[in-house]
């Protein structure tokens, strides 16, 4: 034990003496928490719209007013000549263009019951297909809302006579995250992302660094046993990972005001079990890599797939079938799902034990395998 203690002390000294490294270990997560928490949201807001009102009537102005008051759209250009829409779209000022036809009022008031409705032309910049689809939904929603309102008032007015239109009214209740804040969903994911990245990257590079500089040989000829060296090297990385995690959870609570609905101890249990997987990956990489650059490339390369296929940024349900099946092999996926359920919904062990079992299995396979690889490489 004494020897392990020495190695642990040496590692901590090394981390502490490396000022820029210290700064990075603690600054990087804070920057990531700040940026990711806000930036990673696929919400489509403030979409620029160019409106060309050819009708210039009270009705058309009412419609334009509805667009102006939308929470999601920003009227960036208005005009009375259709060309303005093309230039606004090409220059990128707006991504939607709406044309209100010249005789809108007249055509609506003269149209017969059951006749084809008057169509408004909506031009979309389709480059960003997500924004385009969502924005089209907003525009359609505003116009349908207008029609729905007109029908509803007619229905209410005619309620007694039984002759009025019938309206289907949705009533919506949102559970768990009733203000629909994207950060509530993202920040627990960031905590997992940080834990994964820091623990696997630092452990991979820390070991390879000794290899590259040549101090690993010195350690190997010293009376320290291999497993002692390994334990002594790994514990500091686990500790650093836990500090990061605490930082992330504190940040989630204080800065983003995310209510911690579930049990923190349960989350810690998940994290500890998960560490066997990430440290195992770090060990595995450090057994394979010769230089720090290689170690970093390999880790980042692996993590890249972990992150993409974890549901952290991109919903797994939307992926093609093969990818969904492949993602079952990704340990990060289970921790992300469990963390979100614990943080947001307050889920307990009785509903999360499948995820826990899978993570235990991953750790039980990856860690011993990596240790054996590493030990055979050291010979």
Partner 1 sequence: MKPRFWAIMRKELLHILRDPRSLIIVFLWPMLMVFIYGYAISFDIREIKLGLLDHDRSAVSRDFVRGMTASGYFRVVKVLPDRKTVEHGMVEGKFTALLVIPADFGKSLGTGPKAKVQLLVDGSNANTAAVAVNTLRSYCALRTIKLNAGTFRTPLTVEPRIWYNPDLKSADFIVPGLVAVVMMMICALLTSVTMARERENGTLEQILVSPVRPFETVAGKIAPYIVIALADSVLIIAFSMLVFGVPFRGDGALLLAASLAFVTCALGIGLFISSVARTQQVAMMASMVGTFLPSFLLSGFIFPLASLPKILQAVSYLVPAKYFLVIIRGVMLKDIGWGTAFRPLLFLVLFGSVVMLASVRRFKIRLED
Question: Hey, which residues between 219 and 248 contact partner 1 (CB under 8 A)?
Answer: none
Closest-CA residue to 188 (of 348, 337, 79): 337
Q: How open is the CA angle 307-308-314, to the nearest 5 degrees? A: 115
**d(C-alpha 239, C-alpha 8), whole Å:** 11
The 3-state DSSP class for residue 97 equals strand
Kindly state the tokens that stand for 295: 């170690």
For residue 68, what are the contacts with CB-CB under 8 A and spacing of at least 6? 75
Are 336 and 311 spatial neighbours (Cβ–Cβ below 8 Å)?
yes
Q: Which stretch binds partner 1 (CB under 8 A): 49-57, 241-249, 252-260, 303-311?
A: 303-311
- Using CB under 8 A, pick the residue from 4, 11, 33, 48 that binds partner 1: 48
- The smaller minimum CB distance to partner 1, of residues 81 and 173, is found at 173
- Give yes or no for residue 162 binding partner 1 (CB under 8 A): yes
What is the chain's length? 379
Element (H, E) at 24: helix 19-39
- What's the closest the beta carbon of residue 164 comes to partner 1, in angstroms? 6
- The smaller minimum CB distance to partner 1, of residues 4 and 194, is found at 194
How far is the first Cα of the chain from the last one, in angstroms, to the nearest whole number? 23
- The smaller minimum CB distance to partner 1, of residues 102 and 345, is found at 345
Side-chain-facing half-sphere of 216: CA atoms under 13 Å: 21
- The smaller minimum CB distance to partner 1, of residues 178 and 223, is found at 178
**d(C-alpha 212, C-alpha 289), whole Å:** 10
Contact positions with partner 1 (CB under 8 A) in 265-284: none
Contact positions with partner 1 (CB under 8 A) in 76-135: 89-92, 108, 111-115, 117-133
Q: Which stretch binds partner 1 (CB under 8 A): 221-229, 230-238, 243-251, 305-313?
A: 305-313
Contact positions with partner 1 (CB under 8 A) in 315-334: 315, 317-320, 323
Are 332 and 242 spatial neighbours (Cβ–Cβ below 8 Å)?
no
Contact positions with partner 1 (CB under 8 A) in 341-360: 341, 344-347, 351
- The smaller minimum CB distance to partner 1, of residues 5 and 137, is found at 137
- Using CB under 8 A, pick the residue from 8, 54, 155, 358 that binds partner 1: 155
**d(C-alpha 174, C-alpha 15), whole Å:** 46
- Using CB under 8 A, pick the residue from 268, 269, 296, 361 that binds partner 1: 296
- The smaller minimum CB distance to partner 1, of residues 45 and 227, is found at 45
- Give yes or no for residue 177 binding partner 1 (CB under 8 A): yes
Place of tokens 């993409």: 308
- The smaller minimum CB distance to partner 1, of residues 44 and 335, is found at 44
- Give yes or no for residue 137 binding partner 1 (CB under 8 A): yes
């Amino acid at each position: 034990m004494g020897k392990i203690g020495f190695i642990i002390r040496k590692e901590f000294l090394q981390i502490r003496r490396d000022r820029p490294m210290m700064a990075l270990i603690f600054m990087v997560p804070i920057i990531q928490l700040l940026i990711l928490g806000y930036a990673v949201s696929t919400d489509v807001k403030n979409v620029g719209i160019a409106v060309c009102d050819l009708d210039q009537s009270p009705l058309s102005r009412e419609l334009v007013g509805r667009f102006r008051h939308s929470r999601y759209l920003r009227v960036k250009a208005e005009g009375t000549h259709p060309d303005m829409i093309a230039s606004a779209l090409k220059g990128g000022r707006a991504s939607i263009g709406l044309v209100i036809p010249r005789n809108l009022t007249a055509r609506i008031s003269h149209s017969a019951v059951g006749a084809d409705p008057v169509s408004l032309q909506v031009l979309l910049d389709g480059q960003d297909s997500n924004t385009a689809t969502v924005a089209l939904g907003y525009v359609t929603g505003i116009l349908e809302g207008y029609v729905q309102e007109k029908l509803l008032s007619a229905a209410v007015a005619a309620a007694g006579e039984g002759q009025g239109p019938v309206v289907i009214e949705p009533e919506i209740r949102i559970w768990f995250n009733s203000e629909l804040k994207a950060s509530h969903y993202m920040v627990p994911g960031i905590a997992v992302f940080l834990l994964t990245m820091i623990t696997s990257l630092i452990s991979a590079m820390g070991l390879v660094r000794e290899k590259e500089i040549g101090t690993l040989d010195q350690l190997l000829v010293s009376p320290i046993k291999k497993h002692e060296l390994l334990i002594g090297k790994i514990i500091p990385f686990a500790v650093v990972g836990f500090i990061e995690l605490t930082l992330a959870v504190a940040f989630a609570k204080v800065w983003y005001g995310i209510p911690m609905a579930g049990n923190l101890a349960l989350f810690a249990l998940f994290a500890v079990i998960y560490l066997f997987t990430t440290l195992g990956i770090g060990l595995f990489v450090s057994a394979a890599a010769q230089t720090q650059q290689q170690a970093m490339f390999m880790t980042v390369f692996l993590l890249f797939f972990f992150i993409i296929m974890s549901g952290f940024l991109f919903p797994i349900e939307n992926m093609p079938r093969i990818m969904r099946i492949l993602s079952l092999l990704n340990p990060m996926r289970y921790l992300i799902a469990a963390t979100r359920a614990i943080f947001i919904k307050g889920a307990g062990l009785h509903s999360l034990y499948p995820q826990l079992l899978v993570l235990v299995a991953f750790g039980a396979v990856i860690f011993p395998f990596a240790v054996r690889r590493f030990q055979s490489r050291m010979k």
